[in-house]
Amino acid sequence: MNTAPVNAPPSEPSASPTLTALFWGFSSVGLSGFGGVLPFARRLLVEERQWITAETFNTQLGLCQFLPGPNVVNLAVIVGKRYQGWPGAIVAPLGLLAGPILIVLLLALLYDRYGALPLAQGLLRGMAAAGCGLLFAMAWRMGMAIPRKPVFWPFTVLTVTAMAFLRWPLPLVMIGGLLLSGGVAYWTLGQK
């Protein structure tokens, strides 16, 4: 199961990265992006190292986005497994996370020590406000990318009502929402 590359078409780049290469490759991906590293993952995997083709990247990413959980971590598992079996599937996500975790913990230490100072409080308030703005922008951009807005936007409104205002638990909202929204999607797919 973990010897040959999975589903590799003949045109697939033949370079088979070692465990070390996987670790450092994904480390560089993890450390290069702020607020999401997916574009960097694509650049490294498809363009620079050519570990996988653009087409494979899209299909595998489809699976990563289909499942819950952090997409890039899932992607690292897939690429790691593809080339080095289960050790690769462990080493690649570790490489992705190790560097950023160290940095973030260092920041946490600084926060513990200096976070209560008025200067730091002002700084953090400013960063939080900008961060919130980015979140709203992201929600807006994703909302605009949704097909058939009149059909699907009501589900966005329902989700916001349930989460932000009624403060319902997420599992309940997701299961209910998926049944409704997925049901409507299933129906619209049959219409074509």
Partner 1 sequence: MMVLELFLEFVCLSFVAFGGATAMLPEMHRVIVGHHHWLDDTTFTHLYAIAQAAPGPNVLVVTLIGWKVAGLLGALAATFGMCLPMSVLIYWLVDRWERFSGRRWQQAISLGVAPLAVGLIFSGATLMAQAADFRPGGWTLMLVTALLNLRYPSLHPLWLIAAGALMGLSSGL
> d(Cα 59, Cα 6) in Å, to the nearest integer?
13
Q: Which CB, 24 or 99, lies closer to partner 1?
A: 99
**Identity of the residue, 113 or 140, whose beta carbon is nearer to partner 1 in the bound complex:** 140
First to last CA, the chain: 39
Whichever of 45 and 74 has its CB closer to partner 1, that residue is 74
Among 42, 65, 83, 91, binds partner 1 (CB under 8 A): 65
Which residues within the stretch 160-179 sit at the binding site for partner 1 (CB under 8 A)?
A: 160, 163-164, 167, 169-171, 173-174, 177-178
Query: What residues between 70 and 99 interact with partner 1 by CB under 8 A?
Result: 70-74, 77-78, 81, 86, 89, 93, 96-97, 99
- Identify residues 103-132 at the interface with partner 1 (CB under 8 A): 103-105, 107-108, 111, 115, 119, 122-132
Tell me the C-alpha to C-alpha distance, in Å, between residue 21 and each of 53, 54, 80, 96, 123: 18, 20, 10, 12, 38
What is the maximal distance between C-alpha atoms in the chain? 61
Q: Note whether 180 and 155 are within 8 A (CB).
A: yes
Question: What is the rounded CA–CA span in Å between residue 111 and residue 130?
Answer: 18
With binding defined as CB under 8 A, does residue 56 bind partner 1? no
